[in-house]
Amino acid sequence: MVLRMRQALVAAPRIFQRAKSTAAVFHAVPTSKYSGSDDPLSGSWAQEQPARREWKREEVQALFDQPLLELVFQAATVHRQHNDPRRIQLCTLMNIKEGGCSEDCAYCSQSSRYSTHSKASPLEKLDNVLAEARRAKENGSTRFCMGAAWREIGGRKRGFDRILDMVREIRGMGMEVCTTLGMLSPEQAQKLKEAGLSAYNHNLDTSREYYGKVITSRTYEDRLETIANVRDAGISVCSGGILGLGEDESDRVGLIWEMSRLPEHPESFPVNALVAIKGTPMEGQEPVSFQEMLRTIATARIVLPTSIVRIAAGRHLFSESEQAMAFLAGANAIFTGHRMLTTPTSSWDEDKAMLARWGLTGMKSFESKRLAPLAPEEAEPACEPPAPESVKEEPRVATLGTGAV
Ligand code: SF4
């Protein structure tokens, strides 16, 4: 009883702050298209409002601090003004070069500095990768992402040439192609662009202030430089973060605020929940609560209204109803298939059945208006995901790992 009273006293200022901040930010969020006479099924949501820029950090914090359902309602409203809320992007991620990375990211099983289950492997063969991409496409994924556990491409010329071939071939299948290969020079970014790369993932992970507690082998500025090289080459930026690293709420706000300050909002903002891996410095971290995930997703949806907000690693930790609440709050992409880089995810079958239960459908390739459109000769009728019973699928690989993207 005494403990409960103490907890209530500790929580009271936060709750009061959240109630106060509702009034402060409500007027800043436009009203829903659903509130007028517009037909909500007209499909005319996309890009009607320009994305607001120049957020102050206090404003993002005030949004974040609102009572949770109020925040979700506002995020759902903003989502409908910029995106078709019925569409979810299905992405499949393949680890094309596992383990042996020289970086010291404290959450990652692939760092060579920690003793984990992850073993260094060579770069995958082209044919194996193309077979995985084909399988992903047949099962309804429209974006194929490839991750290599490298600090940077550096002088790996033969490996880089093979990756360029992978990009060309997969783009030739009519899929969006994304890679995450560590730090990138302007020249490497240009070559990836010429090969047809749609997006490049390079996360900021957390706030600028907390970053040094997670990674010391490269700086926040290094990360921003790679993001700038990607953007300057005309490739869409995919950049997000990880929750559950021991950061506090102001760090989650700081991450979103940093994204809002980029010269262009990222095309895609992945939100990962840490999957704590034995052998890493983060192995004892408590899992992040769903409410914190939801609060972060909803705030990101309001601040980055035209970005794809992606539920990434750790999604398997949340129930279907929780995931549906995240879609309501503006999340509009998931990783699906059989695993993330090193963590499990739901299968195509499970995910398509889940989306169908909630009245959601998969996005087509290049449906996001933030991506450069397909050239006419590349365009082909984009497929709706096949019905669950027609899906070809192999058993899930239930490996552990972080694989944050
Ligand atoms: S997160 Fe990426 S860069 Fe960091 S250790 Fe893992 S593979 Fe290397």
User: Is 145 a residue of the active site?
Assistant: yes
| Ligand 1: centre distance to CA 167 (Å) | 21
In the predicted structure, residue 221 carries a pLDDT above the cut 80: yes
Catalytic annotation present for 178: yes
Residues for the chain: how many in total?
A: 405
Q: Is the pLDDT of residue 244 over 70?
A: yes
Per-residue pLDDT at 41: 39
Name the residue of 113, 151, 205, 217 to mutate for ligand 1: max ligand atoms within 8 A of Cβ: 151
Q: Are 260 and 60 in contact (CB under 8 A)?
A: yes
Residue 311 in contact with residue 271, Cβ under 8 Å? yes
Does the pLDDT of residue 29 top 90, yes or no?
no
Distance CA 204, CA 239 (A): 6
Q: Give the Cα separation of 230 and 228 in Å (integer).
A: 5
Looking at residue 44, its pLDDT comes to 42
Residue nearest atom 7 of ligand 1, based on CA coordinates: 149
Tokens of 7: 């907890």
pLDDT of residue 118: 85
User: What spacing in Å lies between the alpha carbon of 330 and ligand 1's midpoint?
Assistant: 28
- Identify the pLDDT of residue 384: 46
CB of 329 within 8 A of CB of 297? yes
State the closest ligand 1 atom to the C-alpha of 103, by its place in the atom list counted from 1: 5
Averaged pLDDT, 31-57: 53
Q: Quick one: tokens of 121?
A: 């492997």
Closest-CA residue to 24 (of 82, 71, 69): 71
pLDDT of residue 308: 97
* Average pLDDT estimate for 27-51: 45
Is 24 or 183 the better-scoring residue by pLDDT? 183
CA of 42 to the centre of ligand 1 (A): 43
100-123 pLDDT, tens digit each: 999 999 999 999 999 898 888 999
pLDDT at 136: 94
CB 18 within 8 A of CB 64: no
Pairing mode, strands 361-362 and 308-311: unpaired
Query: Is the CB–ligand 1 distance for residue 101 below 6 Å?
Result: yes
Q: Which two tokens stand for residue 25?
A: 């930010």
pLDDT, tens digit, 9 for 90 and up, residues 366-391: 887 777 655 555 554 444 444 444 33
Long-range contacts of the stretch 179-182 (C-beta < 8 A, 24+): 179/145, 179/146, 179/147, 179/148, 180/145, 180/146, 180/147, 180/148, 180/238, 180/405, 181/147, 181/148, 181/150, 181/152, 181/153, 182/101, 182/103, 182/148, 182/150, 182/151, 182/152, 182/153, 182/226
pLDDT, average across residues 132-160: 92
C-alpha 190/C-alpha 188 separation (Å) is: 5
Q: What percent of the chain has pLDDT above 70?
A: 77
pLDDT band at 27 (very low <50, low <70, confident <90, very high): very low
* Burial group, residue 132, by CB count within 10 angstroms (0-12, 13-18, 19+): buried
Q: Which residues contact 390 (CB under 8 A, 6 or more apart)?
A: none
Report the C-alpha gap between 77 and 89 in whole angstroms.
Answer: 19
* Distance (Å) from CA 121 to ligand 1 centroid: 14
Can you give the pLDDT at residue 347?
A: 83
pTM exceeds 0.85, yes or no: no
Task: Give residue-wise pLDDT tens across range 68-103.
Answer: 999 999 999 999 999 999 999 999 999 999 999 999
Helix (H, G, I), strand (E, B) or coil at 261: helix
- Looking at residue 33, what is its pLDDT? 44
Euclidean distance between CA atoms 61 and 253, whole angstroms: 6
Q: Does ligand 1 lie within 6 Å of residue 109's CB atom?
A: no
- Output the DSSP codes for 90-136: EEEEEEEE-S-B----TT-TTBTTS--S----PPPPHHHHHHHHHHH
Residues 266-312 have pLDDT tens digits of 999 999 999 999 999 999 999 999 999 999 999 999 999 999 999 99
Q: pLDDT per residue over 328-356, tens digit each?
A: 999 999 998 876 555 666 788 889 999 99
Q: Which structure tokens are listed for 235?
A: 């490739």
Cβ(242) to ligand 1 under 6 A? no
Distance 98 CA to ligand 1 centre (A): 10
Confidence of residue 395 (pLDDT cuts 50, 70, 90): very low
Is 383 one of the catalytic residues?
no
Query: Hey, what's the torsion of the CAs at 129, 132, 134, 138, to 10 degrees?
Result: -170
Give whole-number Cα distances, 339 to 99, 272, 396, in Å.
16, 14, 7
Position 2 scores a pLDDT of 46
Atom of ligand 1 nearest to the CA of 182: 3
Q: Which region among 146-155, 187-196, 250-259 has the lowest average model confidence (pLDDT)?
A: 146-155
CA distances (Å), 391 to each of 10, 132, 135, in order?
50, 14, 10
| SS percent in the chain: helix, strand, coil, step 5 | 40, 15, 45
Measured in Å, residue 151 CA sits from the centre of ligand 1 at: 7
State whether the beta carbon of 149 lies less than 6 angstroms from ligand 1.
yes
Q: Is 108 annotated in the active site? A: yes
Contacts of 39 (CB under 8 A, 6+ apart): none
Per annotation, catalytic residue among 101, 143, 295, 301: 101
In terms of C-beta density within 10 A (0-12 exposed, 13-18 middle, 19 or more buried), how is residue 155 classed? exposed
Catalytic member of 80, 91, 108, 315: 108
Vertex 91, ends 90 and 94: CA angle to 5°? 155
